[in-house]
Chain A
Amino acid sequence: MKIRGRVWKFGNHVDTDVIIPARYMNTSDPHELAKHCMEDIDVEFVKKVSKGDIIVAGENFGCGSSREHAPIAIKYTGVSAVVAKSFARIFYRNAFNIGLPVIEAPNAVDRIDEGDEIEIDLEGGKIRNITKDEEYSFVPIPGFMMDIIRAGGLIEYAKKNMI
């Protein structure tokens, strides 16, 4: 499975309160949540981002709350994947569960700039930077988790495989 898109860059410890502030969590409507994604660190983000774009960030992306509203808000802005040096545990799990691919690629992040065009090969463990004509590797997504992504999330996966 390959994902290609334009990059938006963020720093370390992007927490769930800035991904989706709690004041908007009186609803679970994904489109409503997406309207406020990253609002407290970049008010323009939701206007600038377009379908297929990729977020690239530093350490500990998604730290803080367990709110699944955070990966949902990101997914419904049209973002197709998040690449980071590392992820907070609950966010990592939630992202896969709702079908948003997240890739831990510590070697790649500092080489990628905002606006670069990149292509991620999830099973192959490779990120190709088309703008810079470079390639970076990461530990490929395990089979079990690829199955969840292909199914479109844990629930769809569970319907097919476990219940």
Chain B
Amino acid sequence: MGMTLAEKILAVKAKRDFVKPGEILLCDVDIALANDVTAPLAIKAFESIGKNDVFNRERIVLVMDHFTPNKDISSAMQVKFVREFAKKYGIVNYFEGGDVGIEHALLPELGLVVPSDLVIGADSHTCTYGAIAAFATGVGSTDLGFVMATGKIWLKVPETIKFEVKGIRGEFVTGKDIILKIIGMIGVDGARYKAMEFAGEVIRGLSMDERFTICNMAIEAGGKAGLIEPDEITKAYVGGRAKREPNYLCSDKDAEYKKIIEVDITGMEPLVAFPYLPENVKPVSEAKDIKIDQVVIGSCTNGRITDLRQAAEILRGKKAAKDVRLIVIPATPNVYRQALEEGLIEIFLDAGAVISPPTCGPCLGGHMGILAEGERAVATTNRNFVGRMGHPKSEVYLANPYVAAASAVLGRIAHPEEAI
């Protein structure tokens, strides 16, 4: 019997020839990641273990992205605490200020994560790196403190659900719509404790940026990891960036899956997830009467250059509606620079957008665009829970960058076709 991609990576990390779902393994971790919110607790956990050094100062990555630029005294104190820790232990990959990007866009871009890595991050969207065929999963701060001390983690081998995505991709349908469709099909706990493997002709035809979007939201279906087998597109992305030698693993032909689910996207419109769960998915044409106050284009889900190009395609030569605040957040300094060089930033400024520095900011209701009571936002982010972007009585509608841009122009949720 063969192994799935997820099982194969875990087998390598546990120094085993074969593993099967349900086994508990002690695995070697390649990258341990934390941010300004989760690192302080992880550092406290690390320190209370009482080891006098970290397991590897090059393999711990600390990205101060959630409340950057520090929004208040408490956040500044948290970052100061992490900065001092990074200095004390000589942590090589510490990112703050102008170096900071949203962690899950930044790490692959800089080649810090490579295919077949085991990445343990104190952030639930760590699953993003499955797009380059790494096994990447989120944990809490105590688990991460343990990893920082030992370089190891206990993991249960998850069963894998395979999603065969086929059909003809319609205009304005992106990776975001494919993952929203899947979450809508299986629900927010449909892949709880499971690895999700995204496969099929449609996935093969997607750019890396759209693949990152898909794997990023595996957690919104409860997934432990979301993976895509590497191909030429993966290799073209990884080559030239990888800071370590990549190992390209694929699922065996005779791998055993918990389930194989076919997803046919022929005839599918762009989708919108209604409050207050990402599974509340409807075609955009069924959402068109909803007036909005704010649009956010950015986040670890949709803040990469492809996303900004898609938004700019709609916004070129247009203005955001008078009563809509349009906020654009390039995910990393490189994305920002590239958007500037391609003229996208000018398009956004002409449209009346606020351009934010790279930050998680409003996605989690941190800062840079908080909603008042009764306000509604269309966001390219990943969660629309109660109070996620501000007041508990505000609402977030999740969508792709085309839909978000079109909605900004029309002042209500809109199909991209309406804004062209």
- A residues apposed to B, CB below 8 Å: 13, 15, 17-18, 21-23, 25-28, 39-41, 59-60, 63-69, 71, 86, 88-90, 93-94, 97-98, 153-155, 158-159, 162-163
Are B142 and A94 touching (Cβ within 8 A)?
A: yes
- Using CB atoms, name the residue of chain B closest to A32: B74
Report the minimum CB–CB distance from A75 to chain B (whole Å).
12
Q: Can you list 8 contacts pairing A with B, beta carbon distance less than 8 Å?
A: A40-B387, A63-B222, A64-B124, A64-B385, A65-B364, A69-B37, A69-B41, A93-B140
Are A88 and B67 touching (Cβ within 8 A)?
A: no
What residues of chain A lie closer than 8 Å to B246, measured between beta carbons?
A: none
Interface of B is mostly: loop
Separation of A35 and B51 alpha carbons in the complex (Å): 33
- Using CB atoms, name the residue of chain B closest to A15: B385
Are B71 and A26 touching (Cβ within 8 A)?
A: yes
Q: Which of B48, B126, B387 has the most CB of A within 10 A?
A: B387
Report the minimum CB–CB distance from A111 to chain B (whole Å).
21
Q: Mark B266-285, 1 if CB is under 8 A from A, else 0.
A: 00000000000100000000
Given the contacts A13-B277, A89-B222, A154 and B146 also touching, CB distance less than 8 Å: yes
- Using CB atoms, name the residue of chain A closest to B158: A89
Q: Which of A60, A63, A97, A162 meets B142, CB within 8 Å?
A: A97
What residues of chain A lie closer than 8 Å to B149, measured between beta carbons?
A: 158, 163
What residues of chain A lie closer than 8 Å to B78, measured between beta carbons?
A: 26-28
Separation of A71 and B49 alpha carbons in the complex (Å): 20
Given the contacts A21-B365, A90-B124, A66 and B386 also touching, CB distance less than 8 Å: no
Are A68 and B67 touching (Cβ within 8 A)?
A: no
Report the minimum CB–CB distance from B149 to chain A (whole Å).
7
* B residues 21-48 in Cβ contact with A at 8 Å: 37-38, 40-41, 44-45, 48
What residues of chain B lie closer than 8 Å to A65, measured between beta carbons?
A: 123-124, 364
* B residues 364-378 in Cβ contact with A at 8 Å: 364-366, 370
B226 proximal to A (CB < 8 A)? no
Q: Which of A15, A66, A93, A94 meets B123, CB within 8 Å?
A: A66
Q: Which of B142, B385, B388, B392 meets A155, CB within 8 Å?
A: B142
Separation of A90 and B37 alpha carbons in the complex (Å): 16
Separation of A28 and B40 alpha carbons in the complex (Å): 7
Given the contacts A25-B37, A63-B188, A66-B38, A155 and B366 also touching, CB distance less than 8 Å: no
- B residues apposed to A, CB below 8 Å: 37-38, 40-41, 44-45, 48-51, 66-67, 71-72, 74-75, 78, 121-124, 126, 138-143, 145-146, 149-150, 188-189, 192-193, 219, 222, 224, 277, 364-366, 370, 383, 385-388, 392
What residues of chain B lie closer than 8 Å to A63, measured between beta carbons?
A: 188-189, 222
Are B41 and A93 touching (Cβ within 8 A)?
A: no
Are A90 and B189 touching (Cβ within 8 A)?
A: no
- Using CB atoms, name the residue of chain A closest to B382: A64
Given the contacts A40-B392, A64-B124, A155 and B145 also touching, CB distance less than 8 Å: yes
What residues of chain B lie closer than 8 Å to A86, measured between beta carbons?
A: 189, 192
Are A66 and B122 touching (Cβ within 8 A)?
A: yes
Are A60 and B143 touching (Cβ within 8 A)?
A: no
What residues of chain A lie closer than 8 Å to B383, measured between beta carbons?
A: 15, 17, 64
Separation of A68 and B144 alpha carbons in the complex (Å): 11
Q: Which of A21, A25, A60 meets B222, CB within 8 Å?
A: A60
- Using CB atoms, name the residue of chain B closest to A23: B365
Separation of A21 and B370 alpha carbons in the complex (Å): 13
Are A68 and B74 touching (Cβ within 8 A)?
A: no
What residues of chain A lie closer than 8 Å to B51, measured between beta carbons?
A: 163
- Using CB atoms, name the residue of chain B closest to A21: B387
What residues of chain B lie closer than 8 Å to A25, measured between beta carbons?
A: 37, 66
